Structure 1
Amino acid sequence: MSYPQTYYKDTIADPKVRPVLSGTTECDTVIVGGGLAGLTTALQLARAGQSVIVLEAESVGFGASGRNGGFVSPGFAAGGDNIARMAGPDAARQIHRLSIEGVDFVRDTIDALKIDSAKMQPGITGVLRYDDGDSLKAHAEAMRENYGYELEYRDTEQVRSVLKSSRYFQGLRDPNAFHIHPLNYLRGVAAEIERLGGRIYEGSAATDAALHGAEKTIGTAGGRLKARHVVFTTGGYTGTLNGRLKRSFLPIATYVMLSEEAPDLIRTAIATTDAIGDNRRAGDYYRLVEGGKRVLWGGRITTRAASPVALAAELRREMTGTYPQLKDLKTELAWSGLMSYARHLMPQIGEMQPGVWHCTAFGGHGLNTTAIGGKLVAEGILGQSDRYKLFRPFGLVWAGSYAGLAVAQLTYWKLQAQDWWRERAA
């Protein structure tokens, strides 16, 4: 299997290797990209009786979809105020409800397909690194009033009783959110697509495309596919096949590391099964795995991936800066993955021309938003709804290429500095 060396690869439940495309085949819809967005779209189309083929250049979940922190919670990278400014208050509320629906979709899919290997664990807590409980109480009240969505407030004493760090103050616990093994979830979805008659070809990168006219054609090194609809869901690993799509977002690297097995030491710092995220712009996120035996810790973003040794050192500094008692906890493994960020920080979901769809740029919030994105694209293809049009304000705008990457990196450093000053003042 062509997966990078990650914790998820090492604990994969289904080692099945799928075939490479050969020859010429016809179907209703071709999906280019076997990550979270592509497989969700394929699942919904297959459930509706369409003939579906997924092309994956490597293996199912090879990219960020199978390498991420495993957090499933509502929301978008852009934030509610920015979404309201771009799309209007009413649309912003509808869009946020979609993100909640995405969380429910992932949970329901795990339950319906009995994907026990996804190891679903309820609870995600967001914590502040400065003292401002009033802002969290106000946010919890707004979520309750606007969406009927309950968040549980935690004061500083409650937070520090389970997260034994002086860096943390108040927090909000989301009991509806959860965390999972994302690669096993994806492979469980892939198995269901195939059970329903869909086909998935691995090691089958799309190399050329003819997208005008009623019949679309996608070519690979060994075969060709003809279909009425094509869906591009390639995220941070998008190549030059669709230039308009590639120009519309930036590939941004994020990092994850896995600790050695040391449950007694870990308990001196982290005494909760919740996944944890802090409030910095590109903050830390982490959770215990294997029943508390190890810590999976993620964070940092850069415009190009660093070496595993360098990224492990960066993440260790973050971890021990938060939990000095974990200074002797060794790192066993570290890896990176490429996310896709649009300039407006929102997913790009829609139909770029008749019969040609896109579902990408989830910007670090992919496990719930790819689910709803794939569902909306499938509804659009099937003529069931036009809910995908809610994302029209967030189009395929040019992301700035190399200049955009430079600006993104400088912006990140600026935000880091602002976080540092804010925490220092606390």
Structure 2
Amino acid sequence: MSYPDTYYTQTMAERKVRPVLSETVECDTVIIGGGLAGLTTALQLARAGQAVAVLEAESVGFGASGRNGGFVSPGFATGDDKIARIAGREAARQMHRLSIEGVNFVRETIETLKIEGAKPQHGLISVLRYDDGESLKAHSRAMEHAYGYQLEYLDSHQVRSVLKSNRYFQGLRDPDAFHMHPLNYLRGLASEIERLGGRIYERSAAAGCELSGAEKIVSTAKGRVRARTVVFTTGGYTGSLNGRLKRSFLPIATYVMLSEEAPDLIGTAIATSDAVGDNRRAGDYYRLVEGGKRLLWGGRITTRAASPAALAAELRREMIGTYPQLRELKTELAWSGLMSYARHLMPQVGEMQPGVWHCTAFGGHGLNTTAIGGKLVAEGILGQSDRYKLFKPFGLVWAGGFAGLAVAQLTYWKLQAQDWWRERAA
């Protein structure tokens, strides 16, 4: 199987190799991309009785969907205030409710399909790296008032009792958010799609498509699919097959590393099974795995992927800066993945033209938003709802190409500098 070497591939629960498309097949809907968005869409369509086919260029979960931090929590890559400025306050509220629905969908899917390999662990702590507890209290009150969503406020003493770092101040704990093994979750979805009669083809990159007629044709190197509907869910790995889609996002690399097995040493720094993320733009996120034996640590973003050695050095610098007591903790593995970011930092979900749908650009919040995005696309295809139209204000706008990548990198450096000054002033 052509997977990158990650913690998730090393601990994959099942290793079924799916066939290459080598003939002409017919179905109701063909989905291009075997990640979270594509498989969620396929699952919901198959549950409704549609004949579906999924084309994956590599293997199920090869991209960012199968190698991310594993956090499942509400929200989007941008905040409610920005969403409200673009789409309106009521639309922003509805979209946040959708993100909560996405979290619940993933949780319920794990339970319903009994995906034991996903190993969900509840609890996520969001921490401040400067002193501003009042802002967190206000946010907690706002979430409860608007959505009935409860967040637990943690003062500095409570935070530092479980996260033993003087870099952290106050935090909010979300007891309904959770973290999990994303690749095992994906492979559980794939197995259920196949049980329902859906077909998944690996190592079957879409090489060409004819989308203008009532019948859509997608071709691969050795076969083709005829369908009424096509869904593009290729994320950061979108190639030139759909130029409009490729121009509408920036491929952004993010990084993850895994420590050696050292539970006693790790316990001197982190005394919680909750996942943790800080408030910086592209800040650190991490969680214990294997019952606290190892630490999985992610963070940083760049506009092009670095070598494993370079990214491990960057992440270790962040980890040791936060927890000096982990200086002797060795890194066993490091990897990267490409996320897709739109200029407006929101998912791009909708119908590009009759019978041609897209569900992409999740910007680092994919485990809840791909779930709800795939569900909404399936509802739209089936005529069950038009909830996908909530994303219409966040369309396929040009992301700026190479200039957009340069601006994104400069913006990130600027935000890093702002974070640095804010922490020093605390």
What is the TM-score with the length of structure 2 in the denominator?
Answer: 1.00
Instruction: Give how far 1:78 is off.
Output: 1.2
Q: Distance in 1 between matches of 2:2 and 2:68?
A: 17
Are 2:374 and 1:374 aligned? yes
Cα distance in 2 between the residues matched to 1:383 and 1:215:
18
Moved >3 Å (runs of 4+): none
Matched residue, 2:399: 399
Residue 365 (1) aligns with residue 365 (2): yes
Letter in 1 for 2:28: D
Q: Give the Cα–Cα distance (whole angstroms) in 1 for the partners of residues 66 and 358 of structure 2.
A: 20
Output the CA distance in 2 between the equivalents of 1:146 and 1:74: 14
In 2, Cα distance between equivalents of 1:111 and 1:67 = 22
Q: What is the CA deviation profile of residues 94-133 of structure 1, one whole-angstrom value per residue up to 9, with x for unaligned ones?
A: 0000000000000000000000100100000000000000
Per the alignment, residue 302 of structure 1 pairs with 302
Write the distance in 2 (CA, Å) between the matches of 1:23 and 1:180. 36
1:322 lines up with 2:322 in the alignment: yes
Q: Which runs of 5+ in 2 are unaligned?
A: none
Q: How does 1:107-122 map to 2 (within 5 A)?
A: 107-122=107-122
Q: CA–CA distance in 1 between the matches of 2:380 and 2:122? A: 31
Deviations 1:353-396 (A, max 9, x none): 00000000000000000000000000000000000000000000
- How many angstroms does 1:142 deviate by? 0.2
2:185 equivalent to 1:185: yes
Matched ranges for 1:11-50 at <5 A: 11-50=11-50
* Counterpart in the other structure of 2:291: 291
CA distance in 1, matches of 2:181, 2:61: 12
Equivalent positions of 1:2-401 (< 5 A) are 2-401=2-401
1:123-174, CA deviations, whole angstroms, 9 ceiling, x for partnerless residues?
0000000000000000000000000000000000000000000000000000
Amino acid at match of 2:39: L
Deviation sequence 1:258-313 (CA, Å, 0-9, x none): 00000000000000000000000110000000000000000000000000000000
- CA shift at 1:23, angstroms? 1.0
- 2: CA distance, partners of 1:82 / 1:3: 37
Distance 1:209 1:152 in 2: 50
Q: Match for 1:51: what amino acid?
A: A
The superposition leaves residues 293-346 of structure 1 with CA deviations (integer Å, 9 ceiling, x where unpaired) of: 000000000000000000000000000000000000000000000000000000
1:44 and 1:282 mapped to 2: Cα distance?
32
Question: Structure 1: how far apart are the matches of 2:71 and 2:385?
Answer: 28
Partner SS for 1:126? strand
Q: Distance between the aligned counterparts of 2:142 and 2:84, measured in 1?
A: 15
Give the distance between the partners of 2:60 and 2:351, measured in 1 at CA. Answer: 24
Secondary structure, counterpart of 2:292 in structure 1:
coil
Taking only aligned residues, the RMSD between alpha carbons, in angstroms, comes to 0.3
Deviation string, structure 1 residues 175-220 (Cα, Å, up to 9, x no partner): 0000000000000000000000000000000000000111000000
- What is the identity percentage for the equivalent residue pairs of Structure 1 and Structure 2? 84
Q: Supply the distance in 2 between the matched residues of 1:79 and 1:357 (Cα, whole angstroms).
A: 25
CA distance in 1, matches of 2:132, 2:178: 25
1:397-419 Cα shifts (integer Å, max 9, x gaps): 00000000000000000000000
For residue 423 of structure 1, report the CA deviation from its aligned partner: 0.2
Structure 2 SS opposite 1:370: helix
Q: Distance in 2 between matches of 1:211 and 1:50?
A: 20
1:54-111 Cα distance to aligned partner (Å, 9 max, x none):
0000000000000000000000011110000000000000000000000000000000
Counterpart code for 2:224 = R
Task: Give the aligned length.
Answer: 426
SS at match of 1:28: strand
Name the aligned partner's letter for residue 155 of structure 2.
Answer: D
Letter in 1 for 2:407: V
Partner of residue 410, structure 2: 410
CA distance in 1, matches of 2:96, 2:87: 12
Give the Cα separation in 2 of the matches to 1:254 and 1:172: 24
Letter in 2 for 1:48: A
In 1, Cα distance between equivalents of 2:230 and 2:313: 42
SS in 1 for 2:291: coil
Q: Distance in 2 between matches of 1:325 and 1:263?
A: 13
Residue aligned with 1:350, SS: strand
What is the alpha-carbon distance in structure 2 between the residues aligned to residue 413 and residue 389 of structure 1?
34
* TM-score when normalising by structure 1: 1.00
**Counterpart Cα distance in 1 of 2:15 and 2:395:** 37
Ranges in structure 1 where 5+ consecutive residues have no aligned partner? none
Letter in 1 for 2:240: T
DSSP-derived class of the 1:291 partner: helix
CA distance in 1, matches of 2:379, 2:109: 17
